[in-house]
């Protein structure tokens, strides 16, 4: 029942984000310019915000489960740092071999390669181990962030600001051409993790427990890890790094939906998508015609709400 | 013995001469902390006396060969001091104030270039010229820029007479794009904005909150500029880079009528090159 309310809320927010803004578009007869703005600029943008938010929320929920750590988020595995590094290389180096697809593709490849390295580092005795994954991710993330900062501090190009804007999350470049790819990876990732939700529930309770319930802990963890990697890579390449959602949306959803992953994964996806849509709406409405980084707005809206819930409710954990 | 006395006097003479000269002689070892002051110093014919520049100083070609003292916002104090400058030229637009204060506390002479707008440039050049002992060159350079500004401004007034004033409703709307994706444009306070106003056109980003705002694409569609300028970035083919972006703006009059001008980076720095930058814009707007 609650999940239907969430679907309804998400749809409502989607429509708000589509029609509201510094200039409100009233449904009905539209001028040519308004139709162009609605269909070529707003709609792909809001769709990308929804997809990114869904990917981050769902992957956060899965990752906190497989790492058994409430502080885990999709960025802790270093995947986003790897993506940022390759994307910044492309931006500062002025690469454009694939046209406007260059930076997203570079980011996607960077994310997948980093995910692969983290997986290899976390692999021991025929499986992935949560602590190893976590530490490998943190280590790699530090290394890549340092390389990124090094590159930025020696870069003399005006590409610097562009790289910063990209890394802070930018939805203004959202085009229709990116959406099929983003949609495909996000759907695969969410479906893959949702079908493994029961196994995730068991894994949270411990490997022995999962084993006794008939799940192969290592196999399930690997599948879930792959789905997290796909989701994170897709979201980073769609619009850069958006903080907060992956870490705190799953916790907010646990307050409302409980800890059952079968509900938590879709709920976190819907919550994440909704929050990013609102944040993007705010980011383009506060100081028009200037746009603020959506990632900053996400945290400014989301964090106080999370803290309020933390005071008010009495549950916390995975 | 007489020889020693002669030497002694000779030495005295040289000594007194050089100390007398120090008071009036212009600085011989100049460090420039910003690309635009580097360009001005070179334009004043002082290239030989520049001993240090920032890593951003890439114009004229000779500037690239000068020793580097770091970036604009993070110049290295050690690098500056070790070059033993007798004048450091800083700007209010990009250099940290603390850095200049630090240099002063180390008894290094500084000059702060305060011009930020197009119309302030000639005065800034004259001030700088007086400090570096290139007074005449500076007056000439400044006069040239003033003349160009005057000329382009006058041309507009002549045109505007027929249009009944310069109301924003009647003037053509333009937008100067610094980078298409994400869209970064020239806003208020930039030389581009000043040049557009000078030529009698309306910069649609004039009301933005910052000098180089990240601008909303929707707003470009709504404000429908008649002309788009696309600035140059080092090592990039802007025609290729902006292709996808222009496709999304197909309804904008500038794109529909193919009034898109790819211009150089002459207006990016408040330096003598702005004159050529203004000419480029004027040429395109004809």
Cβ of A156 within 8 Å of Cβ of B55? The answer is yes
Whether the pLDDT of residue B19 is over 50: the answer is no
The region that residue B210 occupies, defined by phi over 0 for left and psi between -120 and 50 for alpha, beta otherwise, is beta
* Chain A partners within 8 Å of B178 (Cβ): 158
Cβ of A289 within 8 Å of Cβ of B213? The answer is yes
For residue B168, with 0-12 CB atoms within 10 Å meaning exposed, 13-18 middle and 19 or more buried, which class applies? exposed
Q: What is the mean pLDDT of chain A?
A: 87
Cα separations in angstroms, A231 against A65, A103, A175: 15, 17, 19
Asked if B184 has any chain A CB less than 8 Å from its own CB, the reply is yes
Whether the pLDDT of residue B236 is over 80: the answer is no
- Residues on A contacting B at a C-beta cutoff of 8 Å: 21-23, 32-33, 36-37, 40-42, 94, 96, 99-100, 153, 156-159, 161-162, 165-166, 170, 172-173, 175, 284, 287-291
Closest residue in A to B219 (Cα) is: A289
Cβ of B216 within 8 Å of Cβ of A175? The answer is no
Based on its alpha-carbon atoms, the radius of gyration of chain B, rounded to whole angstroms, reads 23
Asked if B234 has any chain A CB less than 8 Å from its own CB, the reply is yes
User: Cα-flanking dihedrals φ and ψ of residue B215, to 5°?
Assistant: -100, 150
Interface predicted TM-score of the whole assembly (ipTM), two decimals: 0.74
- The continuous run of DSSP H or E covering A21 comes out as none
Whether the pLDDT of residue A13 is over 90: the answer is yes
- Residue A33's nearest CA partner among B253, B242, B263 is B253
* Chain B partners within 8 Å of A171 (Cβ): none
Cβ of A37 within 8 Å of Cβ of B181? The answer is no
DSSP state of B120: G
Closest residue in A to B206 (Cα) is: A289
Whether the pLDDT of residue A268 is over 90: the answer is yes
CA-based nearest distance B208→chain A, Å: 6
What is the Cα–Cα distance from A74 to A63, expressed in whole angstroms? 7
Tell me the whole-structure pTM to 2 decimals.
Answer: 0.81
Cα separations in angstroms, A105 against A97, A112, A221, A236: 10, 11, 27, 10
Q: In this structure, are residues B92 and B116 in contact, taking their beta carbons and an 8 Å threshold? A: yes
Whether the pLDDT of residue B157 is over 60: the answer is no
- Across the strands, what pairs with B32? B89
Q: What is the pLDDT of residues B98-133, one digit of tens each?
A: 899 999 999 999 999 999 899 999 999 999 999 999
Residues 6+ apart with CB under 8 A from A8: none
Q: What is the pLDDT of residues A159-187, one digit of tens each?
A: 777 788 788 778 887 888 889 989 999 99
Q: Which of B55, B205, B215, B218 to mutate to test the interface with A (most CBs of A within 10 A)?
A: B218
Q: Please count the other Cβ atoms lying within 10 Å of the Cβ belonging to residue B164.
A: 8
Q: What is the pLDDT of residues B33-78, one digit of tens each?
A: 999 999 999 999 999 999 999 988 988 999 999 999 988 888 889 8
- The continuous run of DSSP H or E covering B184 comes out as strand B184-185
Which residue is listed with tokens 């400090």? B131
The pLDDT value recorded for residue A31 is 83
What is the Cα–Cα distance from A42 to A231, expressed in whole angstroms? 23
Tokens of A70: 């409430």
The pLDDT value recorded for residue B165 is 41
For residue B134, with 0-12 CB atoms within 10 Å meaning exposed, 13-18 middle and 19 or more buried, which class applies? buried
Asked if B211 has any chain A CB less than 8 Å from its own CB, the reply is no
Q: What is the pLDDT of residues A214-224, one digit of tens each?
A: 898 889 999 99
Pairing of strands A127-128, A123-124: antiparallel
The pLDDT value recorded for residue B270 is 93
Q: Which of A290, A292, A294, A296 to mutate to test the interface with B (most CBs of B within 10 A)?
A: A290
Based on its alpha-carbon atoms, the radius of gyration of chain A, rounded to whole angstroms, reads 19
* DSSP line for A75-102: TTTSHHHHHHHHHHHHHHTT--TTGGGH
The pLDDT value recorded for residue A310 is 80
């Amino acid at each position: 029942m609650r999940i239907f309310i969430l679907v309804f809320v998400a749809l409502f927010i989607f429509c708000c984000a589509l029609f509201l803004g510094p200039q409100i578009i009233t449904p009905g007869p539209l001028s040519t310019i308004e139709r162009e703005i609605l269909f070529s600029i707003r709609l792909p943008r809001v769709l990308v915000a929804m997809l990114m938010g869904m990917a981050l929320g769902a992957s956060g929920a899965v990752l906190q489960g497989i790492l058994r750590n409430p502080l885990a988020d999709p960025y802790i595995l270093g995947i986003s740092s790897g993506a940022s590094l390759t994307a910044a290389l492309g931006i500062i180096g002025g690469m454009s071999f694939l046209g406007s697809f260059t930076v997203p593709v570079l980011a996607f490849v960077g994310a997948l390669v980093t995910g692969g390295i983290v997986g290899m580092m976390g692999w021991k005795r025929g499986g992935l181990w949560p602590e190893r994954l976590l530490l490998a991710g943190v280590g790699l993330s530090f290394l890549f962030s340092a390389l990124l900062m090094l590159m930025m501090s020696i870069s003399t190009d005006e590409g610097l600001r562009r790289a910063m804007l990209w890394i802070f999350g930018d939805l203004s470049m959202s085009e229709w051409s990116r959406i099929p790819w983003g949609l495909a990876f996000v759907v695969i990732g969410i479906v893959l993790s949702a079908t493994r939700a029961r196994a995730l529930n068991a894994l949270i309770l411990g490997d022995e427990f999962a084993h006794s319930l008939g799940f192969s802990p290592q196999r399930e963890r690997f599948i879930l890890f792959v789905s997290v990697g796909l989701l994170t890579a897709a979201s980073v390449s769609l619009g850069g790094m958006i903080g907060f959602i992956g870490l705190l949306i799953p916790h907010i959803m646990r307050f409302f939906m409980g800890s059952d992953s079968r509900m938590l994964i879709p709920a976190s996806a819907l919550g994440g998508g909704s929050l990013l849509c609102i944040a993007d709406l705010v980011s383009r409405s506060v100081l028009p015609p200037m746009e603020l980084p959506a990632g900053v707005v996400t945290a400014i809206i989301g964090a106080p709400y999370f803290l309020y819930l933390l005071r008010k409710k009495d549950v916390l954990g995975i | 013995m007489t020889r020693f006395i002669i030497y002694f006097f000779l030495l005295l003479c040289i000594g007194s001469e050089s100390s007398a000269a120090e008071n009036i002689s212009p600085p011989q070892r100049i460090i420039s902390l910003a690309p635009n002051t580097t360009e001005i110093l070179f334009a004043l014919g002082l290239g030989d006396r520049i001993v240090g520049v920032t890593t951003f100083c890439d114009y004229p070609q000779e500037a690239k060969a000068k020793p580097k003292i770091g970036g604009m916002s993070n110049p290295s104090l050690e690098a500056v001091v070790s070059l033993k400058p007798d004048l450091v030229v800083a700007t209010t637009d990009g250099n940290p104030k603390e850095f200049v204060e630090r240099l002063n506390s180390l008894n290094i002479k500084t000059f702060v270039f305060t011009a930020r707008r197009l119309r302030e440039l000639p005065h800034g050049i004259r001030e700088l010229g007086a400090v570096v002992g290139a007074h005449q060159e500076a007056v000439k350079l400044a006069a040239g820029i003033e003349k160009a500004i005057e000329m382009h401004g006058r041309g507009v007034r002549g045109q505007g007479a027929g249009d009944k004033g310069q109301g924003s409703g009647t003037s053509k709307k333009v937008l100067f794009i610094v980078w298409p994706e994400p869209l970064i444009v020239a806003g208020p306070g930039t030389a581009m904005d000043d040049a557009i106003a000078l030529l009698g056109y309306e910069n649609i980003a004039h009301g933005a909150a910052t000098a180089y705002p990240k601008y909303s694409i929707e707003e470009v569609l709504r404000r429908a500029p008649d002309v788009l300028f696309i600035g140059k970035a080092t090592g990039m083919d802007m025609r290729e880079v902006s292709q996808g972006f222009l496709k999304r703006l197909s309804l904008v009059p500038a794109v529909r009528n193919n009034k898109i001008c790819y211009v150089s980076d002459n207006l990016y720095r408040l330096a003598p090159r702005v004159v050529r930058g203004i000419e480029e814009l004027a040429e395109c707007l004809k």
